Amino acid sequence: MRPDALTVAAIDAGNLLPVAQVMRQRYPDAQIIIAADNDIKPGEPNTGKSAAEKSAKAVSGWVALPQSEEKADWNDFHQQHGPEAAAAAFNDSLYQPGGNMPVQLKAIEGGKQTASAGGE
């Protein structure tokens, strides 16, 4: 459980960017994670993934994309695989878009670490 977490639904890919920008303004130090829809369709753009990555880049956020061979969102994944598998897949799929290669986010024990003065 994460009592300090806030969930906000944008509902539509076209609304992701404005919602992410408002959340960044309201919560400047928050880690913003966009739970993207995987709108995979052969020969067509993946609207959910593209909108999520564009929005995440704009707010220095992260994307979690369900890995699927067909169109899916996180609720679909949860219904198909159960809560534990969905939670693990969500955490494993997190990346921060930027450049050509996304950077994988990995949880570390001990919480947030801050750099000491002098770069030690």
If one compares 5 and 70, the residue with the highest pLDDT of the two is 70
* Tens-digit pLDDT profile for residues 41-96: 999 999 999 999 999 999 999 999 999 889 999 999 999 999 999 999 999 999 99
**Cα distance between residue 107 and residue 32, in whole Å:** 15
Q: Give the helix, strand, coil percentages of the chain, each rounded to 5.
A: 40, 10, 50
- Where would I find the H helices in 1-120? 16-26, 47-58, 74-81, 83-93
Q: Is the whole model's pTM more than 0.95, yes or no?
A: no
Q: Is 109 helix (H, G, I), strand (E, B) or coil?
A: coil
Residue corresponding to tokens 């052969």 = 42
Give the rounded percent of residues in the chain with a pLDDT score beyond 90. Answer: 67
Judge contact between 39 and 73, C-beta under 8 A: no
DSSP state of 104: E
Whether 120 has a pLDDT exceeding 80, the answer reads no
